[in-house]
């Protein structure tokens, strides 16, 4: 049985590592200055208030659009273009949060359709989590952007239909692919003699009820 995800304690006790930059998630003067300006305008003082200010900024200033160089999760591109898909929304939030001293991390998976019990799933979906008040808070800013009435819900909650595939950026499995660390892991990585190969991926699901188990 799957459940709605709400803020939860950290089981690892290693939150500070989620303050460091990744290759496409910079923590630098530009993002520190922008984050500080956003937070100051909202007069936010606690980490939870600061995160909400950054969350609202991203939702209010980015446009969900699959055009340009979207889908890589480049926070600098998102900041410049003011558009992208879920990867850009959450990458910008993570860079801003980390630049404000708030641990934040990226996750990718899929959203299972709620209106049917089996069939295909339309590609990946991603989201973020930030750490405040001793807990990880899930956020989905691209969904909040599309459904404004749910903006408060998506600050601290994910619906039960989420399946997480992986967490983090610059993922370095052992053995490491010849192409280097993986930006984020939404689809299989397949190489032959060190050369990346295109893999056709299709996600399907079958909902198991209590009667089936």
Averaged over 38-65, what is the pLDDT? 98
Q: What is the pLDDT of residue 199?
A: 87
Of 48, 56, 94, residue with least CA distance to 75: 94
Residues 170-180 have pLDDT tens digits of: 999 999 999 99
pLDDT band for position 123 (cuts 50, 70, 90)? confident
What number does CATH give the domain 8-206?
Answer: 3.10.620.30
pLDDT band for position 66 (cuts 50, 70, 90)? very high
Instruction: Give the range with max mean pLDDT: 99-103, 160-164, 209-213.
Output: 99-103
């Amino acid at each position: 049985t799957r459940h709605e995800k709400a803020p939860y304690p950290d089981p690892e006790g290693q939150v500070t590592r989620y303050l460091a930059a990744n290759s496409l998630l910079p923590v630098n003067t530009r993002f520190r200055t922008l984050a500080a300006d956003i937070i100051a305008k909202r007069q936010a003082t606690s980490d939870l208030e600061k995160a909400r200010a950054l969350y609202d900024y991203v939702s209010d200033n980015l446009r969900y659009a699959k055009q340009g160089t979207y889908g890589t999760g480049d926070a600098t591109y998102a900041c410049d273009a003011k558009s992208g898909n879920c990867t850009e929304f959450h990458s910008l939030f993570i860079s801003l949060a980390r630049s404000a001293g708030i641990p934040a991390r990226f996750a990718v998976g899929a959203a299972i359709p709620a209106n049917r019990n089996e069939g295909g799933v339309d590609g990946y979906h991603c989201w973020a989590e930030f750490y405040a008040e001793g807990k990880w808070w899930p956020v989905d800013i691209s969904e909040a952007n599309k459904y404004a009435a749910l903006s408060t819900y998506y600050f601290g909650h994910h619906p039960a239909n989420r399946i997480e595939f992986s967490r983090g950026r610059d993922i370095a499995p052992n053995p490491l692919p010849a192409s280097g660390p993986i930006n984020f892991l939404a689809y299989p990585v397949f190489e032959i003699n060190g050369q990346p190969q295109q893999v056709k991926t299709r996600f399907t699901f079958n909902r198991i009820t209590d009667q089936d188990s």
